[in-house]
Structure 1
Amino acid sequence: MSQLMFVDGVLRILRAAAPVSDWTAQLRLKASLKRAAGTGDRDRKAGRILSSAVLLNAGIELATKHAETAGTPLQSMKHVRDGAMIAMLALMPMRRRAYAGLRIGHSVLVAENEILIALPEELTKSGQPWEAVVPSQIDPLLRRYLNEARPMFMARGNQDHDILWVGERGTIYTQDYLGCRISECTEKMTGVRVPPHFFRDAAATTLARTSPKGARLIRPVLAHSGFGTAERHYIHAQTIEAGRDYATLISKMKKGKR
């Protein structure tokens, strides 16, 4: 579906720029992608969109309780890393490419009182830079990973680079491996396999369920350039709030009859 959307967008521009050219081959490619994509699997996220609070708690528990009871120092540090990855993504739901591409000293700026995440425009879908301070709930987890776990991993593999998320021998996590690791760990902690992109859905859904005002935070939190997603969740939040008000009204009416 993503490939179809990309090809369709490019083809629209090309046909507008050169309307007399023969785009038959490209149109066939688009048609092939459309057949392969179908209408999309609407059920693929069913039951897999947890609240951000659940994902945050899963990450914190993995990085603390599980790390403390691990059988070896290496296993403990792996829990610290995995827990920090999940907890941070729960409150800072970046796209997988951006998350895997975080670099210490470039997009991860560590100061004494705060850690700043600064994504350059090439790592955001909107093409606009995005900055946010690491929330206080996960600051200690990330610092422990940076100060204890990551140095251990880098030393074991004799590695020297600035990529944030690394394997147990300091090797750089690719986007695919990062996604698999997060999915495996969320399944272990929650019973539900949650890939990185679903963390963004979790954030939008969680905000929408709080209130219509919360839904308005979706755009800056997810670094969207447009208001489409935020508007859909805003309407969803209004519906939820109206339902709550209606239920409260009915409850009061029932009590009045008694």
Structure 2
Amino acid sequence: MNAHLTLLCAMRAAGPHSGVPQHDELQEHLQDRFSEVGKSAWAEFAHVQRVASGIWGAEATAHFGQVLRAARVSVKTKRKTDWQLAEDAIERLPRPWRDALRGHGELSKRGERVKGARLWSAAHLRNVALALGRWANHCHASGLPQTPTGASLDAYSRAVANRTTARTAADYAARILSGFSIIAPGFSSEACDFVAQDWKERAAEEGCSTKTGSQLVGARRIYDLGFELIDSARERPVRGPQAAKEFRNGILLALATALPQRARAMSALASGTTLQLIGDHTVRIWLPARLLKLPEDQKNGEPFERLLTSQKLYAAVEEYLEKFRPIFDDGTFLFPSSLNRGEAVTEKHLGRLAGDLTARAFGVRVSLHRLRDNVATEVSEHLSAGGRKAAYLLGHKDERTTRRHYDHSQGIAVAQEFIDLLEERRADVPDLALRMR
């Protein structure tokens, strides 16, 4: 009889009143079986966990899931930083442009402002480099000089808009001119500035092609969906990687609705630092300014802090951190990657993940950014002074930003607290209160 069958027989014979096989014993068993039968050992071990769960229960055998995940998902090469991604984009540019962009990037990274030029974030540097690369390819294919003129920039913008949107064309035009301000000091063209402004105005008139009214499914529905996923994870007969992923996804939707912040900030949430359970059913969110959508020269400014007081949300986060999160790895990221141990889900994938979850549930994709629209719309419609409160929830400095992008209300609203959109009232006390320091 092989070791797999021997272990199964031993567990069944031992019964529920005997000790559960422990982590080190299981890890050694799985390693031995893998050396004998290869990846089939993983399927065997998953069956072992199902049998063990039937004997001792899902919670007592959750460590089986940790052992299996550690064996199946190895620590991969660490992801490149934003600055490294920017360097990769610069490396593909014509040689004369590289040093100037690298130099400006290094100054921006150190926070050193050059007279007449603003600090750039790594993301902006990469976007400018990518836009310049596309522009250089276009000029080469068309036999045009690389220095833009009003006519050549407008023709290129039209070609981009025909393939994509006016918003993309406007972004490319602005990035090309931003790049030339660095790679060609002294470059100036009123005609190019006019073209860039013209495409910016066209983009504003066109609106955002990725946002539609059908994506407004309601913040309360998304919040409830989060807890439905959490309950589903709790009810799984086996507490393994799938249960951990489902609980993680539920926390993502519930917390993103209650917060609500952009994907970059959400991806940086980590237990004990940017997220803390401080007692009295209160979750503290603390985000340094570098994680917020701010100009680069404000990235050392005031941090964002918010307190979320909710017995329901607090209990879910506490349970997740104690019982489900360790199945992924021993890290602290609130939303760990299911593919790369020790890494968080990237901001790009986090938004896509939220879209996948809402598409399955509602037939409509609601990314994390679009979730903010759902929150702001309900606040605008249902709270007194809704525009101001929506701006407060979304972290907008200017209430007009919220009105321009998010206020879809018809002006008919009943004064109530934001929590009424998320949770039932218990007696006279709101179950969730949002406070900002």
**TM-score with structure 1 setting the length:** 0.74
Give the length in aligned residue pairs: 230
Q: Shift of residue 85 of structure 1? A: 0.5
C-alpha displacement of 1:103? 2.6
CA RMSD of aligned residues (A): 3.7
Structure 1 equivalent of residue 137 of structure 2 = none
1:60 deviates by 0.7
The one-character-per-residue Cα deviations of 1:49-87 (angstroms, maximum 9, x if unpaired) are 2211011001011111x2134353122222111101001
C-alpha distance in 2 between matches for 1:139 and 1:209: 27
For 2:173 and 2:389, how far apart are their aligned partners in 1? Answer: 31
Which structure is richer in relative contact order (CA contacts within 8 A, separation 6 or more)? Answer: 1
Larger radius of gyration: 2
**In structure 2, what is the equivalent of residue 118 of structure 1?**
286
Residue pairs, 1:125-136, within 5 angstroms: 125-126=293-294, 127=298, 128-136=302-310
1:73 aligns with 2:235: no
Letter in 1 for 2:306: A
- The structural deviation recorded for 1:164 is 2.1
Extract unaligned runs of 5+ from structure 1: 243-258
Q: Hey, what's the Cα distance between the residues in 1 that align with 2:276 and 2:334?
A: 11
Equivalent of residue 22 in structure 1, options 179, 184, 187: 187
Distance in 2, Cα, partners of 1:223 & 1:2: 25
Name the CA shift for 1:88/1:3 in 2 (closer, same or farther; >3 Å).
farther
> Could you list the runs of 5+ residues in structure 2 that have no partner in the other structure?
1-166, 415-437
- 1:204 and 2:376 equivalent? yes
What SS does the aligned partner of 1:239 have?
coil
Deviation by residue 1:163-203 (Cα, 9 ceiling, x = unmatched): 22102344321112212221111222223211110111011
Q: C-alpha distance in 1, partners of 2:360/2:406? A: 32
Give me the whole-angstrom Cα distance separating, in 2, the residues matched to 1:227 and 1:141. Answer: 33
Distance 1:193 1:71, change over 3 A: farther
How far apart, in 1, do the equivalents of 2:169 and 2:273 lie? Answer: 30
**Cα deviation per residue 1:150-170 (whole Å; 9 max; x = unaligned)?**
111105xxxx4x322102344
Query: Secondary structure of 1:134's partner?
Result: strand
Q: Secondary structure at the match of 1:240?
A: coil
Does the CA contact (< 8 Å) of 2:169 and 2:199 recur in 1?
no
The one-letter amino acid of 1:167's match is S
The TM-score normalised by the length of structure 2 is 0.46
Deviates more, 1:106-115 or 1:143-152: 106-115
Equivalence map 1:57-206=2 (5 Å): 57-64=224-231, 66-70=232-236, 72-74=238-240, 75-113=242-280, 114-126=282-294, 127=298, 128-136=302-310, 137-155=312-330, 160=331, 162-168=332-338, 169-206=341-378
Correspondence for 2:425: none
Q: 1:42 to 1:179 in 2, by over 3 A?
A: closer
In structure 2, the CA distance between the partners of 1:118 and 1:105, relative to structure 1 (3 Å rule), is same
